[in-house]
C-alpha cells in the first residue's frame, strides 16, 4: 500500500484561505493567471515538437504506460501533527476495565493499538479474573466492532427517516423527564438488566427521589433470585454465594455449572484447578462430585458424575442432607425432620451415591463445599446453606456475602412489570439494555404488554426484538467505550473505563437516566461522584487513579457475613418443597453456549466456538440421551416437535448428547433470534417459547414427535471416542502415586534414532506443556487465539465441510457407556515438532524450523499444496480455502453468511496489527504467538538482558486459561515453569512414537475417584 | 475379413502374422494415410464437438477455481487432497502404456508393438497434459505455482529438495519431455510420407515443415534408428521412475495407509495396468471406426489383454499384501487404516476397486474372453474405473481417518470436483481426436518393417532378424 500525504496547502480542516478577491471568486481570469504562473508540466516541451522528439515521447509513453498497471493502490494517511502522549505506533497500550458478566464482573486488561481496543486479557489483580478470561469476555471485543450495531438513535422503527441526533435524543429525554416530574414520576417504569453498577444504582435512586412515583424493575433470563431467597430462608438475609474452592477438598455440585456459567466461573475454575495441581507424586487432590441432568463443563470435570433427571436433583440434595444428619451426626436441627421423607433410595440409583458423598463431606468438615445450581428452588438453596453452615464450610469454602442488589431480577420482578403494564399504570417504559421481548417468560407476553405503554424507550447495543417494539431506540455504548462501574460477585468494585471514544456518539445507561433527569453530567463525572462519596477525602484523586490503573478499588470486596442458621425456617421451606413428578419427558433450560441468553447471537466468534461438550456450532438443538433417542426412533439431526402439556410447542432438531439424563431434554435459549444482525440471522431455534413463569428451569410433561425433517448440525468433532489410542492418558490418583511415569511407559516402540546430529539450541528453545488434569474444556483458549491471531470464520457451511480455522482446538473424547460416559479434554495447538513431518514435504520450503525450535509458517512463500496438512499427524494445519479474511464477498454462499462475518470497516479495527491477515490459498497454523515472542525479545534486548525472562512471553491461549493448564516458556531455561513441568514424570508427547518429537507435551490426566463409588 | 478373426496359431512354432488381409507395403501406407486424407467423417465431427464442449466445461471450472478459490472443491481439513490428486495419479498412470510399449517392448523386440505404439504414445502425451492440470490447479495460489521450479532469484530461495512433490515436478516434466521427443522422432518418416502424398499446397507445407526434410535416405534411416534406440533406452527407466516417484508422494509421508514400502512397484504395476486398459479402449474404437482390422489384429489386442491380466494380478497381490503387512506390523494405526478401508465409510469405494481391478480381469484367463471385443471393451473400461477408485481409496480413506479421531472427517465431492475430472477427459479426447484426424495413428514405417515382405530372405519362419533393413530398402 502506498502512503501519500495530502498535498501541502490543502487545508483539511475545511477552512479556505484566500489571497485576493479574485481567488476567492475563482474567476476565470485568476485561474488563467495561476495557470500561466505555474503551468502544469512546465519543463516539458519547451522546444518545438520535432519528429524525433515526438517519437521519443511516444516511445516513452508506450513504455511507461505498462508501468502504470504496476502502481500500488494509493491511500491517504494523515500523520499525527501532535502525537498523543504514550501512543507509539506498533506499541500496544493496556488499560484496566471490567466486563459485567452474568452474576459477576470480570476484571480485564485490554490491549489497545493506536486507540483501537483489539484484545481482551484478564486482570491479574481482579479476584474474578486472576489474569484469565472466559469465552464471553474474550469475544466481547468483537461486539464493539459489530457492523450491525445501532449507529444512531431512532424515534420509531430503525430506519433512515427516523434517525435522531444526540441532541434530539437528549431533548426528548429531558422533555419526557419534565413531563413525568409534573405528575411525580407516576407512570414511569424502568427495566434494567441484573446490573451490578453502584453508579447506576445511585442514578436509579436519584430517579426515585426526583420522581417518587417511578418504579424500577430488573430482569435477567438467568436470575439468581433463588440463591438469595435460599440464603434469606437459611440466614434471614438475602445473601449471595461466593465460593472459595481453593480451600475445599471435597466439592459437591448439585446441578451447578459453577465453572462455566454460574457464579464467578473464572475464579471458581482457577480455585478448582489449584486443588489439583500435582507438583509431586504424593500431592493431594480435591474431589468433585456433580449431580446433574445435562452434561455441563463442570460435570465433565467431576471425579464422579451422577446423571439423573433434573426433577430428581432437589430430592437428591434433600437425601444428602438427611444422610449427613442421620448417619454422620451433622447437626441440622429441625431440618433433619423435614428431609426425613427423602430416603437416599427414593431417587433412583442414588442410594449408594448419597451415602458415599455424605461420608466424604462429613469427613471434610470445613474443607468441603456443597453447591446448588442457581435455578434450583429456594428451599434447596436453604437446605444446602444449612448443610454448609453445619459442616463449618460457611466462611471457609462457601462465603455468604452481601448481595449487590437484593431486589428480584427474575420472574417476580418481570411479572410485576407486566402486570403493571397491562393495568395501564405505565405510560413511560424505559428499558435499559437486555431484550425482554425475546427473553421474558412466554406466558407473560411481554411484547403485548409493552404496547400498553404510551412511550417506550429502548436503550441497547443492537436492534433486537425489543427495539423493534419500542417507540424510541437509543443506541447504547459498548462497555469498552463507556464510563461505568461494576461490582464482582464478591463485591470487588471496578471502574469500567473506556478504551475508545464511542464509535457512534452513543449513550451509556447513566447518560440516559441523566438525560431523563434533565442533568448534564457525563458518565465520567457520575462515576467519579459515586466513588468520591465512597472513597472521598484528600486521597481521592490518588485512589481514583490507582483504581483506574489497577482496574479495581482495593478493599471493596465484601467480607463474608457471619451467618446464623435458622433451622426452623429451612425446615418449613423444605417441607413446603414440591418435588416434580415424572410425567413424560422433562425439559430443562440452559444458557446457550454461543448466544448466552441471546445477547451474543450476533457474535461470530461465539457462534463458531464449538459447544464444549457437543462441539456444536452455529446452532442449538434439543439434547437428548441415546436411550431417549432410541425410544423415540430419532437420530441426531432429526427435526422434532417438542410439545408441553401446559401448551406450547417448538420445532427443533435433536442432537444425541452422551451424558444427558434419560427422559430429559435439555434446551438452550438464546438462539433463533428474529431481529438480529447478519451473523445471527437464521441461526438456531428459539426455545424461549416453551419457557414460562411456571417452569423457568425444569418443566415436566413434554413429548417429542418426529416431523420427518432433517437439519444439518455443524459439529467440529464428529467422532467421539479415542479408539483405544493413547492420546489422553489418564489414571487415578492412587495408581499415579504408585507409578508416576505411567504415561511415559504406555506406548512401546523401537528406539527412535536419527541419522543426523541434533540441532543444538544455543539460545531460546520454546516449548509448551498442557496439563490435562487442569484443563476443564471451557474453550477460552480458542477465542483468545482467534482474537490474537486474526483467525477468520468459515460459517456454518464451512464447519459442515470441516473447514474451521481455529489454530488451537479442544478435543473432547468420551469414554465408557454412550449413555453415561466420562469426558476428557485435550487442547491441541501445533505441536511444533522437532522432527516435523510438515516441513520436509513442502515443495517450496514455506514451513521451516527456526533456530529457537519453532515450526515457522511463511505465508508469503506458501503456494498452498496442502501436503503439509495431509502429513501432519495432529491435523492442526488450517487452509484458507477462500479469501476468508478480506473479500469473502465473492463467495458469501460458502460462509452461509454475509460478508460482514469477517470483514467490515469496523470489524477491521479489531485486527491485531502484529499478525498478518492471511490470503486465500495459504496454509496457516499456531505459531506459539511468535509476534509476542519477538516483542519480548526486543524488550529484553532493549533492557540488555541476556535472555527473555521466564513469564515475559505468554501465548494468548496460556494467558487466558482460567486454570493455568497451558504453560509456555523456554525449555533451555532450567528454572522456567515449562522446563520444570516438562521434566515431570506425568509429561508425555502424543504420537511421539512417530518420532515427530513434539515440542508441545501433555501432563497426564489424574482423577481422584472415591473407592466406594468406583465399583459401580 | 474372415481372416481377421481367425487365430492363426494352429502351429505354435509359427507366430501369427502381424498384418492381415494380404496387405503389401503400399496397402499399409494407403490404409493409414487415407484416414488423414479422406474428408472429415461425420462421426468424427460429432465426437469432436462433444469433446470440445466438455473441454469448455473444463475451462469454466478452471476459471472458477482461479477466480474464486479451490474451496469450490469439497476438500476439507483432514482431507487436503481428494479428486485433484486422484485425477493426477489416474492420468499419469494412463500415460504409462505409451512409453512402455514404445520403449520397453522395443528393447525386448516385441514386434507386435508396431501397430499400437503411435497411438499409445500420443495417448501418453495427452494423458500427461491432462494429469498436469491437477497439480497445476490444485495449489492454493496458482499464480505462484512456478515457485516449484528451481529458478534463480535474488533471495537465493530454492525449492525444498526433500519434498516428494518437487521430485514429482522433475519426474513428470522429464517424462513428458522425453515422451514428446520420442513420439515426434517416430513421426518424422510418416510425416514425410504424408507430405509426399499431399494433395494440397497447405498440407504439403505443414507436413513438410514437421517432416524436417526427411527423404528416406539410407543415412536418414541409420540416424533415425540410432536416435530411436537411444530414446528408447532413455525412456525405459522413466517408465519405472515416474510412477515410483509419484508413489513417493504417499510413501514418504507418515500417514497410515500411505507410509508403505510396497508403493513403488505397486504403483508402476497399476499404472501399466490402467495404461493398457486405456489403449485397449481406444484401439477397439479406432479399429472399428477406421476399419483397421488388418493392422490392429486380435493378436495385438490379446497381447495387451494378457498384460492387463498380469498387471491386474500384481495389483491384486499388492492389495492383499498391504493388509497382511498392516496386520503383521502390529501397528494399531496401520491396522485401523486398512480395516477402515475395507469396512469403513468408504467401503463402497474399496469394493468397487476390488471388483474392477482384481476380479474383472481374471476373465482374461480364458482365451474366449480375451479375444472377445465386447468383453475386452467392457473390462478395459471397468479397469480404468477401478484404477481411479484405487487412487481415491488410497488418498481419501487414508486421509479422512488418520491418527486423532477428533479430526476425522469425510470428503464429499462438489459439482466442481466432478466437472474438473470430467473436463480433463474433454482435454484428452479433444487432443486425441485431433491426433487421429491429422496424424498417422499407426506407425507406417515400423509396421512395414515387421511384415514378411520386409524380409529379404523370404519365409524363414519366426526368424525376422533382417526385417528392419528390408523395410528401409523398400521405403
Query: pLDDT-based confidence at A76, cuts 50/70/90?
Result: low
CA–CA separation, A178 and A211 (whole Å) = 10
**pLDDT, mean of residues B439-468:** 67
**pLDDT, mean of residues A809-829:** 93
Closest residue to A879, CB basis, from B80, B406, B407: B80
Say whether pLDDT at A473 is over 90.
yes
From chain A, the residues in CB contact with B66 under 8 A are: none
3-class secondary structure for chain B? CHHHHCCCCCCCCCCCCCCCCCCCHHHHHHHHHHHHHCCCCHHHHHHHHHHHHHHHHHHHHHHHHHHCCHHHCCCCCCCCCCHHHHHHHHHHHHCHHHHHHHHHHHHCCCHHHHHCHHHHHHHHHHHHHHHHHHHHHHCCCHHHHHHHCCCCCCCCCCCCCCCHHHHHHHHHHHHHHHHHHHHHHHHHHHHHHHHHHCCCHHHHHHHHHHCCCCCCCHHHHHHHHHHHHHHHHHHHHHHHHHHHHHHHHHHCCCCCCCCCCCHHHHHHHHHHHHHHHHHHHHHHHHHHHHCCCCCCCHHHHHHHHHHHHHHHHHHHHHHHHHHHHHHHHCCHHHHHHHHHHHHCCCHHHHHHHHHHHHHHHHHHHCHHHHCCHHHHHHHHHHHHHHHHHHHHHHHHHHHHCCCCHHHCCCCCCCHHHHHHHHHHHHHHHHHHHHHHHHCCCCCHHHHHHCCHHHCCCCCCCCCCCCHHHHHHHHC
Inter-helix orientation angle B347-354/B373-392, to 10°? 140
Say whether pLDDT at B446 is over 90.
no
CA–CA separation, A469 and A461 (whole Å) = 15
Query: pLDDT-based confidence at A582, cuts 50/70/90?
Result: confident
Instruction: Find how far residue B363's CA is from the centre of its chain.
Output: 22
From chain B, the residues in CB contact with A920 under 8 A are: 69, 140-141
**pLDDT, mean of residues B9-35:** 71
Say whether pLDDT at A1 is over 50.
no
Smallest CA–CA separation between B140 and chain A, in Å?
A: 3
Higher pLDDT, A283 or A466: A466
Residue among A208, A226, A230 nearest A217 (CA): A208
- Kindly state the cell numbers that stand for B53: 464442449
The CA-based angle A911-A917-A921, given to 5 degrees, is 155
Query: pLDDT-based confidence at B16, cuts 50/70/90?
Result: low
pLDDT score recorded for residue A52: 78
Measure CA of the first residue to CA of the last residue in chain A; give whole Å. Answer: 67
With 0-12 / 13-18 / 19 or more C-beta atoms within 10 angstroms meaning exposed / middle / buried, residue A390 is buried
- Kindly state the cell numbers that stand for A536: 472521598
Q: Which of A705-714, B67-76, B280-289 is most confident?
A: A705-714
pLDDT score recorded for residue B443: 86
- 3 state SS of A411: helix
Say whether pLDDT at A1009 is over 60.
yes
Q: What is the pLDDT of residues A950-996, one digit of tens each?
A: 989 999 999 999 999 999 999 999 999 999 999 999 999 999 989 99
CA–CA separation, A852 and A760 (whole Å) = 10
pLDDT score recorded for residue A878: 94
DSSP state of A214: -
Say whether pLDDT at A36 is over 80.
no
In a mutational test of the A interface, the residue from B69, B138, B332, B416 whose CB has the highest number of chain A CBs within 10 Å is: B69
Q: What is the pLDDT of residues A750-762, one digit of tens each?
A: 888 888 888 899 8
Contact B223, B242 (CB under 8 A): no
pLDDT score recorded for residue A9: 46
Query: pLDDT-based confidence at A34, cuts 50/70/90?
Result: low
Q: What is the pLDDT of residues B321-364, one digit of tens each?
A: 999 999 998 888 999 999 999 999 999 999 999 999 999 999 99
- Kindly state the cell numbers that stand for B14: 509359427
- Kindly state the cell numbers that stand for A746: 504406555
From chain B, the residues in CB contact with A882 under 8 A are: 68-69, 71
The CA-based angle A508-A511-A512, given to 5 degrees, is 95
From chain A, the residues in CB contact with B78 under 8 A are: 802, 875
- Kindly state the cell numbers that stand for A704: 417429542
Say whether pLDDT at A526 is over 70.
yes
Query: pLDDT-based confidence at A43, cuts 50/70/90?
Result: very low
Say whether pLDDT at A10 is over 90.
no
Query: Residues 845 to 864 of A: which have CB under 8 A from any B CB?
Result: 845, 861-864
Higher pLDDT, A476 or A677: A476
Percent of chain A clearing pLDDT 90 (strictly above) = 64
Say whether pLDDT at A252 is over 90.
yes
In a mutational test of the B interface, the residue from A777, A870, A887, A998 whose CB has the highest number of chain B CBs within 10 Å is: A870
pLDDT score recorded for residue A243: 93
In a mutational test of the A interface, the residue from B137, B406, B409 whose CB has the highest number of chain A CBs within 10 Å is: B406
Q: What is the pLDDT of residues B254-279, one digit of tens each?
A: 999 999 999 999 999 999 899 899 98
- 3 state SS of A827: strand
Query: Residues 903 to 922 of A: which have CB under 8 A from any B CB?
Result: 919-922
pLDDT score recorded for residue B295: 80
Question: Which residues of A803-853 form beta strands (DSSP E)?
Answer: 809-815, 822-828, 847-849
Q: What is the pLDDT of residues A398-455, one digit of tens each?
A: 999 999 998 999 999 999 999 999 999 999 999 999 999 999 999 999 999 999 999 9
pLDDT score recorded for residue A200: 93
Q: Does A826 touch chain B (CB under 8 A)?
A: yes
CA–CA separation, A344 and A318 (whole Å) = 9
pLDDT score recorded for residue B475: 41
Query: pLDDT-based confidence at A889, cuts 50/70/90?
Result: very low
pLDDT score recorded for residue B387: 93
Smallest CA–CA separation between B258 and chain A, in Å?
A: 10
Answer yes or no: do B70 and A881 touch at CB < 8 A.
yes
Percent of chain A clearing pLDDT 70 (strictly above) = 93
ipTM confidence: 0.90
- Kindly state the cell numbers that stand for B384: 480404468
Q: What is the pLDDT of residues A482-496, one digit of tens each?
A: 999 999 999 999 999
Question: Which residues of A129-278 form beta strands (DSSP E)?
Answer: 153-155, 163-164, 188-192, 215-218, 239-243, 250-254
pLDDT score recorded for residue B69: 86
CA–CA separation, A815 and A593 (whole Å) = 23
From chain B, the residues in CB contact with A801 under 8 A are: 74, 76
**pLDDT, mean of residues B58-69:** 90
With 0-12 / 13-18 / 19 or more C-beta atoms within 10 angstroms meaning exposed / middle / buried, residue A548 is middle
CA–CA separation, B105 and B235 (whole Å) = 11
Q: Average pLDDT of chain B?
A: 86
- What does pTM read for this prediction? 0.87
From chain A, the residues in CB contact with B253 under 8 A are: 837, 841, 870-871
Q: Count other Cβ atoms within 10 Å, centred on residue A301.
A: 29
Query: What residues pair up with A771 in beta bridges, in sequence order?
Result: A1003
CA–CA separation, B388 and A727 (whole Å) = 34
Closest residue to B69, CB basis, from A720, A826, A882: A882
Residue among A792, A791, A786, A796 nearest A894 (CA): A796
Q: Count other Cβ atoms within 10 Å, centred on residue A889.
A: 13
pLDDT score recorded for residue A966: 95
pLDDT score recorded for residue A47: 57
Answer yes or no: do B141 and A862 touch at CB < 8 A.
yes
pLDDT score recorded for residue B31: 81
Contact A345, A351 (CB under 8 A): yes
Query: pLDDT-based confidence at B5, cuts 50/70/90?
Result: very low
Higher pLDDT, A26 or B188: B188
- Kindly state the cell numbers that stand for A538: 484528600
Percent of chain B clearing pLDDT 70 (strictly above) = 91
3-class secondary structure for A675-716? CCCCCCCCCCCCHHHHCECCECCEEEEEEEEEEEEECCCEEC
CA–CA separation, A419 and A427 (whole Å) = 13
Contact A383, A318 (CB under 8 A): yes
Inter-helix orientation angle B263-290/B415-438, to 10°? 50
Q: Average pLDDT of chain A?
A: 88
Answer yes or no: do A865 and B165 touch at CB < 8 A.
yes
Amino acid at each position: 500500500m502506498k502512503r501519500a500525504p495530502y498535498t501541502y496547502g490543502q487545508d483539511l480542516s475545511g477552512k479556505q484561505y484566500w489571497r485576493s478577491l479574485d481567488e476567492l471568486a475563482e474567476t476565470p481570469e485568476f485561474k488563467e493567471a495561476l495557470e500561466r504562473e505555474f503551468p502544469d508540466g512546465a519543463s516539458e516541451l519547451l522546444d518545438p515538437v520535432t519528429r524525433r522528439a515526438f517519437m521519443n515521447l511516444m516511445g516513452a509513453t508506450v513504455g511507461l504506460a505498462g508501468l502504470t498497471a504496476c502502481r500500488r493502490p494509493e491511500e491517504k494517511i494523515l500523520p499525527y501533527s501532535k502525537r498523543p502522549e504514550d501512543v507509539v505506533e506498533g506499541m500496544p497500550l493496556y488499560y484496566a476495565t471490567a466486563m459485567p458478566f452474568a452474576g459477576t464482573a470480570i476484571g480485564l486488561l485490554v490491549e489497545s493499538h493506536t486507540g483501537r481496543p483489539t484484545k481482551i486479557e484478564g486482570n491479574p489483580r481482579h479476584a474474578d479474573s486472576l489474569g484469565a478470561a472466559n469465552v464471553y469476555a474474550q469475544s466481547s471485543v468483537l461486539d464493539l466492532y459489530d457492523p450491525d450495531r445501532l449507529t444512531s438513535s431512532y424515534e420509531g422503527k430503525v430506519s433512515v427517516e427516523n434517525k435522531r441526533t444526540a441532541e434530539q435524543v437528549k431533548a426528548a429525554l429531558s422533555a419526557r423527564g419534565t413531563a413525568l416530574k409534573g405528575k411525580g414520576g407516576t407512570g414511569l417504569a424502568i427495566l434494567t438488566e441484573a446490573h451490578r453498577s453502584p453508579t447506576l444504582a445511585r442514578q436509579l435512586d436519584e430517579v426515585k427521589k426526583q420522581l417518587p412515583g417511578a418504579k424500577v424493575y430488573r430482569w435477567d433470563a438467568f436470575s439468581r433470585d433463588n440463591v438469595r431467597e435460599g440464603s434469606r430462608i437459611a440466614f434471614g438475609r438475602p445473601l449471595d454465594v461466593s465460593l472459595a474452592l481453593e480451600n475445599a477438598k471435597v466439592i459437591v455440585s448439585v446441578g451447578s455449572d459453577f465453572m462455566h456459567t454460574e457464579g464467578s466461573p473464572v475464579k471458581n475454575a482457577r480455585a478448582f484447578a489449584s486443588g489439583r495441581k500435582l507438583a509431586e507424586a504424593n500431592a493431594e487432590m480435591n474431589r468433585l462430585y456433580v449431580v446433574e441432568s445435562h452434561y455441563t463443563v463442570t460435570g465433565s470435570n467431576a471425579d464422579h458424575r451422577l446423571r439423573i433427571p433434573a426433577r430428581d436433583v432437589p430430592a437428591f440434595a434433600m437425601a444428602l442432607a438427611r444422610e449427613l444428619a442421620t448417619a454422620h451426626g451433622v447437626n441440622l436441627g429441625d431440618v433433619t425432620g423435614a428431609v426425613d421423607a427423602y430416603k437416599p433410595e427414593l431417587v433412583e440409583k442414588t442410594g449408594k451415591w448419597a451415602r458415599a458423598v455424605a461420608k466424604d463431606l462429613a469427613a471434610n468438615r470445613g474443607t468441603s463445599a456443597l453447591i446448588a445450581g442457581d435455578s434450583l428452588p429456594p428451599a434447596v438453596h436453604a437446605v444446602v446453606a444449612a448443610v454448609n453452615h453445619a459442616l463449618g464450610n460457611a466462611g471457609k469454602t462457601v462465603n455468604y456475602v452481601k448481595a449487590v442488589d437484593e431486589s428480584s431480577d427474575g420472574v417476580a420482578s418481570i411479572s410485576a412489570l407486566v402486570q403493571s403494564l397491562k393495568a395501564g399504570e405505565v405510560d413511560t417504559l424505559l428499558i435499559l439494555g437486555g431484550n425482554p421481548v425475546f427473553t421474558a417468560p412466554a406466558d407473560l407476553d411481554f411484547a403485548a404488554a409493552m404496547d400498553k405503554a404510551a412511550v417506550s424507550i429502548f436503550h441497547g447495543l443492537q436492534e433486537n426484538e425489543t427495539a423493534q417494539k419500542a417507540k424510541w431506540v437509543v443506541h447504547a455504548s459498548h462497555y469498552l467505550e463507556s464510563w461505568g462501574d461494576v461490582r464482582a460477585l464478591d463485591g470487588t468494585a471496578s471502574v469500567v473505563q473506556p478504551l475508545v471514544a464511542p464509535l457512534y456518539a452513543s449513550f451509556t445507561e447513566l447518560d440516559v437516566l441523566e438525560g431523563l433527569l434533565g442533568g448534564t453530567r457525563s458518565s465520567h463525572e457520575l462515576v467519579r461522584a459515586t466513588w468520591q462519596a465512597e472513597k472521598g477525602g484528600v486521597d481521592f484523586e490518588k485512589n481514583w487513579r490507582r483504581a483506574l490503573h489497577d482496574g479495581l478499588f482495593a478493599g471493596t470486596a465484601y467480607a463474608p457475613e457471619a451467618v446464623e442458621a435458622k433451622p426452623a425456617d429451612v425446615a418449613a421451606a423444605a417441607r413446603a418443597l414440591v418435588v416434580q413428578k415424572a410425567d413424560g419427558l422433562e425439559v430443562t433450560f440452559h444458557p446457550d453456549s454461543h448466544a448466552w441468553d441471546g445477547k451474543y447471537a450476533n457474535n461470530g466468534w461465539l457462534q463458531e466456538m464449538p459447544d464444549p461438550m457437543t462441539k456444536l456450532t452455529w446452532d442449538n438443538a434439543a439434547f437428548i440421551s441415546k436411550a431417549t433417542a432410541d425410544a423415540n426412533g430419532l437420530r441426531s439431526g432429526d427435526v422434532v416437535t417438542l410439545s408441553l402439556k401446559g401448551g406450547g410447542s417448538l420445532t427443533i432438531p435433536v442432537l444425541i448428547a452422551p451424558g444427558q439424563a434419560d427422559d430429559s431434554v435439555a434446551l438452550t435459549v438464546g438462539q433463533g433470534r428474529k431481529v438480529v444482525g447478519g451473523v445471527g440471522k437464521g441461526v438456531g431455534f428459539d426455545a424461549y417459547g416453551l419457557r414460562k413463569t411456571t417452569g423457568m428451569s425444569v418443566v415436566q410433561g413434554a413429548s417429542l414427535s418426529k416431523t420427518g425433517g432433517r437439519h444439518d448440525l455443524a459439529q467440529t468433532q464428529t467422532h467421539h471416542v479415542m479408539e483405544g489410542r493413547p492420546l489422553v492418558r489418564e489414571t487415578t490418583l492412587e495408581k499415579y502415586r504408585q507409578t508416576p511415569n505411567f504415561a511415559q511407559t504406555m506406548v512401546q516402540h523401537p528406539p527412535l534414532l536419527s541419522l543426523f546430529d541434533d540441532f543444538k539450541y544455543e539460545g531460546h528453545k520454546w516449548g509448551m506443556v498442557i496439563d490435562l488434569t487442569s484443563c476443564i474444556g471451557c474453550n477460552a483458549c480458542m477465542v483468545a487465539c482467534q482474537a490474537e491471531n486474526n483467525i477468520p470464520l468459515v460459517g456454518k457451511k464451512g464447519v459442515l465441510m470441516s473447514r474451521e480455522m481455529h489454530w488451537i482446538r479442544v478435543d473432547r473424547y468420551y469414554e465408557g457407556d454412550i449413555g453415561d460416559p466420562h469426558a476428557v479434554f485435550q487442547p491441541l495447538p501445533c505441536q511444533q515438532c522437532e522432527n516435523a513431518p510438515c516441513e520436509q514435504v513442502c515443495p517450496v520450503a514455506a514451513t521451516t524450523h527456526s533456530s529457537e525450535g519453532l515450526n515457522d509458517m511463511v505465508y508469503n512463500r506458501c503456494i498452498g499444496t496442502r501436503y503439509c496438512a495431509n502429513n501432519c499427524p495432529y491435523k492442526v494445519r488450517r487452509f484458507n480455502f477462500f479469501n476468508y479474511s478480506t473479500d469473502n464477498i465473492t463467495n458469501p454462499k460458502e460462509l452461509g453468511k454475509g460478508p460482514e462475518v469477517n470483514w467490515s470497516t469496523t470489524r477491521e479495527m479489531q485486527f491485531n496489527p502484529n499478525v498478518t491477515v492471511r490470503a486465500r490459498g495459504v496454509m496457516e497454523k499456531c505459531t506459539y504467538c511468535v509476534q509476542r515472542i519477538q516483542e519480548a525479545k526486543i524488550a529484553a534486548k532493549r533492557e540488555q538482558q541476556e535472555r527473555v525472562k521466564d513469564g515475559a512471553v505468554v501465548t494468548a491461549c496460556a494467558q487466558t486459561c482460567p486454570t493455568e493448564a497451558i504453560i509456555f516458556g523456554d525449555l533451555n531455561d532450567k528454572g522456567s515453569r515449562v522446563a520444570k513441568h516438562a521434566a515431570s514424570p506425568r509429561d508425555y508427547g502424543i504420537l511421539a512414537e512417530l518420532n515427530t518429537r513434539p515440542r508441545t507435551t501433555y501432563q497426564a490426566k489424574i482423577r481422584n475417584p472415591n473407592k466406594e463409588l468406583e465399583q459401580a | 475379413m474372415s481372416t481377421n478373426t481367425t487365430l492363426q496359431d494352429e502351429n505354435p512354432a509359427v507366430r501369427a502374422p502381424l498384418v492381415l488381409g494380404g496387405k503389401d507395403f503400399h496397402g499399409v501406407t494407403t490404409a493409414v494415410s487415407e484416414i488423414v486424407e479422406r474428408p472429415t467423417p461425420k462421426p468424427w465431427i460429432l465426437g469432436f464437438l462433444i469433446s470440445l464442449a466438455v473441454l469448455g466445461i473444463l475451462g469454466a471450472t478452471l476459471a472458477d477455481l482461479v477466480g474464486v478459490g479451490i474451496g469450490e472443491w469439497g476438500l476439507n481439513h483432514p482431507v487436503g487432497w481428494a479428486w485433484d490428486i486422484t485425477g493426477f495419479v489416474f492420468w499419469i498412470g494412463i500415460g504409462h502404456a505409451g512409453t512402455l510399449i514404445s520403449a520397453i517392448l522395443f528393447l525386448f523386440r516385441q514386434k507386435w508393438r508396431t501397430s499400437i505404439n503411435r497411438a499409445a504414445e500420443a495417448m501418453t502425451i495427452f494423458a500427461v497434459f491432462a494429469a498436469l492440470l491437477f497439480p497445476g490447479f490444485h495449489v492454493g495460489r496458482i499464480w505462484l505455482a512456478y515457485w516449484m521450479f528451481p529458478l534463480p532469484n535474488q533471495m537465493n530461495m530454492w525449492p525444498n529438495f526433500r519434498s516428494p512433490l518437487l521430485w514429482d515436478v522433475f519426474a513428470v516434466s522429464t517424462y513428458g519431455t522425453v515422451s514428446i521427443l520420442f513420439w515426434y522422432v517416430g513421426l518424422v518418416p510418416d510425416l514425410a510420407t504424408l507430405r509426399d502424398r499431399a494433395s494440397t499446397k497447405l498440407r504439403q507445407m505443414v507436413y513438410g515443415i514437421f517432416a524436417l526434410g526427411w527423404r528416406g535416405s539410407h543415412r536418414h534411416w541409420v540416424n533415425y534408428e540410432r536416435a530411436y534406440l537411444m530414446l528408447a533406452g532413455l525412456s525405459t527407466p522413466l517408465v519405472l521412475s515416474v510412477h515410483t516417484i509419484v508413489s513417493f508422494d504417499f510413501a514418504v509421508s507418515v500417514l497410515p495407509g500411505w507410509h508403505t514400502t510396497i508403493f513403488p512397484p505397486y504403483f508402476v504395476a497399476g499404472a501399466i495396468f490402467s495404461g493398457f486398459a486405456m489403449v485397449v479402449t481406444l484401439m477397439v474404437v479406432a479399429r472399428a471406426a477406421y476399419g483397421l482390422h488388418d493392422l490392429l489384429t486380435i493378436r495385438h489386442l490379446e497381447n495387451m489383454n494378457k498384460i492387463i491380466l498380469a498387471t491386474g494380478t500384481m495389483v491384486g497381490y499388492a492389495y492383499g499384501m498391504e493388509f497382511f503387512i498392516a496386520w503383521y506390523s502390529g501397528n494399531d494405526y496401520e491396522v485401523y487404516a486398512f480395516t477402515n478401508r475395507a469396512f469403513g465409510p468408504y467401503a463402497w469405494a474399496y469394493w468397487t476397486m476390488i471388483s474392477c481391478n482384481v476380479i474383472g480381469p481374471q476373465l482374461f484367463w480364458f482365451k474366449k474372453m480375451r479375444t472377445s471385443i465386447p468383453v475386452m471393451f467392457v473390462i478395459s473400461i471397468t479397469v480404468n474405473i477401478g484404477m481411479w477408485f484405487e487412487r481415491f481409496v488410497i488418498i481419501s480413506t487414508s486421509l479422512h481417518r488418520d491418527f486423532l479421531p477428533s479430526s476425522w472427517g469425510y470428503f464429499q465431492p462438489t459439482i466442481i470436483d466432478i466437472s474438473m475430472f470430467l473436463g480433463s477427459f474433454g482435454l484428452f479426447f479433444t487432443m486425441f481426436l485431433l491426433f487421429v484426424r491429422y496424424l498417422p495413428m499407426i506407425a507406417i514405417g515400423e509396421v512395414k518393417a515387421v511384415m514378411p515382405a520386409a524380409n529379404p530372405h523370404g519365409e524363414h519362419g519366426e526368424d525376422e532378424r533382417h526385417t528392419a533393413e528390408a523395410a528401409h530398402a523398400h521405403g
